[in-house]
Amino acid sequence: MVKSKVTSAVGTLGEYLREQRISAEMSLRQLADQAGVSNPYLSQIERGLRKPSAEVLQQIAKALRISAEQVYVRAGILSPDSNVGGSVELAVLADPSLTERQKHSLLDVYHSFLALNSRVTDDAPAADEIAEEPHPEENPDAHPAQD
């Protein structure tokens, strides 16, 4: 079931990239040359047979002069509603000093923190529902004066 979802996402990505390439009036060979990937590899991406790395997607997006973020969304790397952490995700994905495995690990940890914080925020009472206890020094009635 998970595999079909991944294949579906990759197929959709390939179709999207093919549409963008045709819109840009570029041949497969021209795009491959400009993106720095092989012609057969790019063909496999477009046909949904390969899942490219974030770096390859960034190179393809740059060659097509389209948003890398949109390509990442199509590839399933970014979620469409990731306005909160989009810049963090993009920074991780664009960092050339990290390996693909490191990028995915960082993003997994980041997303788990976001999910945890979301649950904590959803379960936490509203600020006006929290009754704070006065600090003993602030409340003279809390400790009777000693004579």
Question: Does residue 95 or residue 39 have the better pLDDT?
Answer: 39
Domain boundaries, the chain: 1-77, 81-123
pLDDT at 83 over 60: no
Mean pLDDT for 28-35 is 97
* pLDDT at res. 7: 44
Instruction: Identify the CATH class of 1-77.
Output: mainly alpha
Residue with the two structure tokens 């003279």: 140
82 CB neighbour count, 10 Å cutoff: 18
d(CA 86, CA 94): 12
Confidence band for 119, pLDDT divided at 50, 70 and 90: confident
Question: How many Cα neighbours within 13 Å face the side chain of 17?
Answer: 35
**Of the listed ranges 11-15, 43-47, 137-141, the one predicted with least confidence:** 137-141
Percentage above 70 pLDDT, the chain: 70
